[in-house]
């Protein structure tokens, strides 16, 4: 890395990584993540990190402008990462109950996974606390494209490929390629 490149890195990346580390109010459990870009860990629950979990990617959009946000919102909430996971820039992972991401997953930018609607759907209950939630499980060796959203109650089988801009509203078996809004099976692998 030449001198000018090092200065740019420390001014525009490393200082932001340190800033979001300082702002984080959740002490993660397990291995230390690889922070290529800023990530904020928040909430009262547990965030478990396996070995070799990377947040951010240099040669990708949103590298200088965005950060990743992980929140285990309640005391019983858990977010569990397996091993050897790469998550591109600007992910949003929020759990009231439980979100699990298996080993060897590759996840594109602007990824979002939520295990709740974070409010009741009935108009008279929208301000009530404790909205319904349903755990999310992403299997091993899953490839997730850019701008994908996975909603509550979804289970993704091993070796699944999820196409760009998909909204995953239901569970899918292993060895499938899914895409669309709502996501559907395109083919099997």
Residues marked as catalytic: 119
Residue with tokens 């397990």: 30
Q: How far is CA 188 from CA 45, 96, 147, 162, in A?
A: 36, 32, 22, 12
Cβ atoms 51, 19 nearer than 8 A = no
User: Strand 176-180 to strand 183-188: parallel, antiparallel, or no bridges (unpaired)?
Assistant: antiparallel
Report the distance separating Cα 48 and Cα 168, nearest Å.
Answer: 24
Query: In sequence order, which residues have a C-beta less than 8 Å from that of residue 7 and are 6 or more positions away?
Result: none
DSSP string, 29-66: EESPPEESS-EEEEESSEEEE-SSEEE--SSSTTTTT-
3-class SS at 114?
Answer: strand
How many degrees, rounded to 5, is the angle at CA 66 between CA 68 and CA 154?
Answer: 40
């Amino acid at each position: 890395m030449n001198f000018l490149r090092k200065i740019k890195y420390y001014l525009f990346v490393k200082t932001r990584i340190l800033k979001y580390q300082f702002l984080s109010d959740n002490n993660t459990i397990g291995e230390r993540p690889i922070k290529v870009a800023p990530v904020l860990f928040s909430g009262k629950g547990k965030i478990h990190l396996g070995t070799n979990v990377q947040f951010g990617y240099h040669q990708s959009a949103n590298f200088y402008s965005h950060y990743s946000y992980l929140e285990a919102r309640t005391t019983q909430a858990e977010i569990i990462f397996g091993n050897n996971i790469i998550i591109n820039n600007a992910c949003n992972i929020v759990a009231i109950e439980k979100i699990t991401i298996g080993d060897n997953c590759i996840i594109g930018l602007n990824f979002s996974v939520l295990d709740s609607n974070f409010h009741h759907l009935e108009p008279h209950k929208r301000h009530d606390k404790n909205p319904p939630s349903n755990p999310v499980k992403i299997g091993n060796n899953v490839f997730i494209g850019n701008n994908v959203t996975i909603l509550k109650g979804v289970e993704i089988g091993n070796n699944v490929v999820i196409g760009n801009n998909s909204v995953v509203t239901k569970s899918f078996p292993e060895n499938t390629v899914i895409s669309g809004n709502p996501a559907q099976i395109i083919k099997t692998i």
